Each structure stands twice: as C-alpha cells, then as structure tokens.
Amino acid sequence: MNETTLGQRDDPIHEVRLRDRPCVTAYHDAIMNNKHLFENKVVLNVGSGTGVLSMFVAKVGAKLVYAVDSCTRTCDLAAELIKCNHLQNKIQIINKRIEDIDKFDENIDIIISEWMGFYLFHESILESVIYARDKFLSLPSPNNDITPDQNESINIFPSHAYLYCAPFVDQNIRIELNTMWKDYFNLNMSPILSHIKNSRLDQCMIETIEPSQLVHDAQLIQSIDLRTIRVNDLYTLRSFCEFHIKNTCIISGFCFWFDCYFSSNNNSSILRSTRLTTSPYSFRTHWKQTLAFLPEDIYPLKGDTVPVYIKLKQSTTNRRQYQLSVVLKRIKEGICVDNDSSDSITRRRQRRRSSTISSDKRTYSQNKSNDTSSDSNTDDDDGNHNGSNEHPIPCLCDRDRCKLIKTIIESHSEENMIE
C-alpha cells in the first residue's frame, strides 16, 4: 500500500489547519488548562506556521516564544498577525529549519508543535521535534536511556500520541470505481482507469468515514511518548492485530486514525489530560481518516479471527513520508454455537470471493438514493429489524439492499463452499 503525496504542509497560509476547529480547540484548551507551565517560561514552537500556537502561549504569560518555520511566506504572514495582536515583544520569528539553528539566546523550557501527519507519521515533522528536544532541552546523551526523573523534567506538547486500526466496510468507493467507467452513459470507458489516480485502490485514501462503517472495535497499533522516543525508532514500525469477529460482516480494508494527549508532568493520568482525536466517532479534522483497501472484500463469519500485519516504513528519499503496508493472513475459522443446541458444532463454511456489492450498478445506485439514512434509522413496521441500526449479513428482511447482498452471497456459495 503506497503512500499518497498530500502536500497540505505546502499551503503557505495553512488555511486547512486554521479551519480545523477540533485541532485548534484542543491546543487552545491544553495551553489554557496548563497556564502554570508556560508562565515566565521560554517556549519553542517547532513548525510555527502562522503563529497561532505561539500567540496562545504568549497570551498565557510566556516570557518568550521562539516561533521557528522554514517557509518565508508563512513567516511574513505570521509576523503581520502577531503584530496585529500586539504580541511582537513576546514572540520572535525565526525563518529557518530547526535543524539549521545552532543555539538560542535563552534556554528552552517547553516545546510545542503541531507535528502530526496523516496516519500520524506520513508528512509529519516528528523528527524535527525530536531533534529540537535532544538539541535544546536538557537531556542525557543519546547513548543513554532517559530515566523516569529526567523524563518528568521534559515538557513537550502534545506529550503522547496513539495510532489505531479497525476494519471497515466500503459503501461506495470501490463500487463506483468498478462500475461507473464500465457503463458510462452506455459507453465502455474502462481504458480510462489506468489514467485515474489510485483507480486500483492500491494507495491509501484520506477520507472521512461513518462510525457505522467500522465492523470491529479499534486496536492500538503504535504509541509514542514524545519525551523518550528516538529517531531510530521511526525507521520501521511494525504491528500485529487479531480481530475476533462477533458478527458476520464484510471487510473492505482497514481504517487508521490517531489521538494525541497534552499531559503535564504533574498529571496523575495521561487520559485525564486534553485530547485531540481524529477518530470517526468525533468531529472531523483535516487529517480525516486513512483507508487502506484490501485487493478484494473479505467475508469473515461470526467466530472467525482476522489476523493482520501492519508495517510503516520510512521513505529513504523523503524522511517525512511513509509507506503503509497491510498484510492479511489466513483467516482463522471459528466455531459456532447453535442457540437451539448446547453442543458446539463446526459450521458449514461459505467462503465467497469478493465481488463487492456492485454486480448490478443501476440497482445499487437507485436503492442507495432511496435508502440514504437506512443505517441510522429503523425499518418500518413491515421489516424484521425495527429498533435496530444494523442488519446481519446475510439478512432475510425485505429491504432492497439486504436482498441485493443476499443475492450476491448466494451466487457464489456453490462455487466456494468449504466444509
């Protein structure tokens, strides 16, 4: 699964991030809730952009803020904004890469940065934050581990980050790619697919999905303590997940998102601190979610276990970019307990090759337009699922979408039946 080049950090006015209310609110609240950490302190803002975080810190009483950013146009705009807010005496803008700065006139007490990228690592400036921490905060030599006491003396906002993964079902993306160009106003336009970016879905997609599309709870796959992580830890990150399927479902791929926490040294619990989340269950952020599609949908049954290996590998040519690889291992078949019997029996397996729910484009498109809110609303009095938001797969009710899914499953059952 190759990375996509998204390039939002090239936006000189950072409009996308300035419009990201959940993100800006999290930083604002974290700073306001920890005024005591910033009062009369010297703060380093790595990747300061338009200076919003620097201004937040200056307004809660910081002695001095070094706002470091490598983009000249962004620094010029930041200077104008800072002057407009009468904070030019507290904020010093430095138009350089943090790696090109030898020293500051004042010792740094705290580092703050909005460093996160897509699926946390891709297009992030995490290495720059680590460099600033090791260079400008008082730390042991790189060959030594940071002791708990030394760890408590390091202030970095955010302090911790967590990356999550959950399987999801695609409700339209693959369907559109598989059907739209093959029947485009009665024209076969399939040759155009090779010219459409990511038409095979072999690259990550940055999209917002609905919580109802998640077919399993998320699992934590990476955790970062900004006070202790080393650059060497970022070259390759590996994880293994096992998703134990509670209900028969369709899995189109795996969804990734992250949380960040702003924990001060005297917090008794990280989870009690301010949190910035990019979860599908929360307000949309500019990071959205990252979707890694499988080559074909899979159909695990209730009781199955879906094992997944995940690897994040740093690019050798651009250290801010990562390749995300998702390897699905053989599904472990479960054992079903019949509700009408106390005995456990091995189920008759129906392994279906993925066709996604797209064999009849017109039927699906018409049904979808008439059924837009069906996942969040209950069925009518004639349905079999009144009061339920989710339907089992396969489902025997009369809803058009359920009948379509049932038809597709049955069409492959004889060919792919396994005992």
d(CA 157, CA 31): 9
Which entry of 15, 106, 114, 390 is annotated as an active-site residue? 114
409, amino acid identity? I
15, 123, 333, 390: which is the annotated catalytic residue?
Answer: 123
d(C-alpha 334, C-alpha 301), whole Å: 8
DSSP state, residue 346 = P
CA distance 334 to 125: 43
Q: Which two tokens stand for residue 8?
A: 């939002």
**Does residue 374 sit in helix, strand or coil?**
coil
CB 163 within 8 A of CB 220: yes
How close are the terminal C-alpha atoms of the chain, in Å? 33
Residue that has been written with the tokens 């209900």 in this structure: 247
Amino acid letter at 228? Answer: T
Active site residue 123: yes
Q: How far is it, in rounded angstroms, from Cα 299 to Cα 307?
A: 14
- Whether the CA torsion 118, 121, 126, 127 is positive or negative: it is negative
127 in catalytic set: no
Q: Cβ distance 322 to 310 under 8 Å? A: no
With 0-12 CB in 10 A as exposed, 13-18 as middle and 19+ as buried, what is 91? Answer: buried
Among 359, 401, 166, 199, smallest CA distance to 280 is for 166
State the DSSP code for 3.
Answer: P
Q: Which has the closest alpha carbon to 302: 357, 249, 344?
A: 249
CA 72/CA 340 separation, integer angstroms: 71
d(CA 194, CA 199): 7
User: What's the farthest any 2 CA atoms get from each other in the chain?
Assistant: 77
Angstrom distance (rounded) from CA 264 to CA 109: 13
Q: Which residues are catalytic?
A: 114, 123
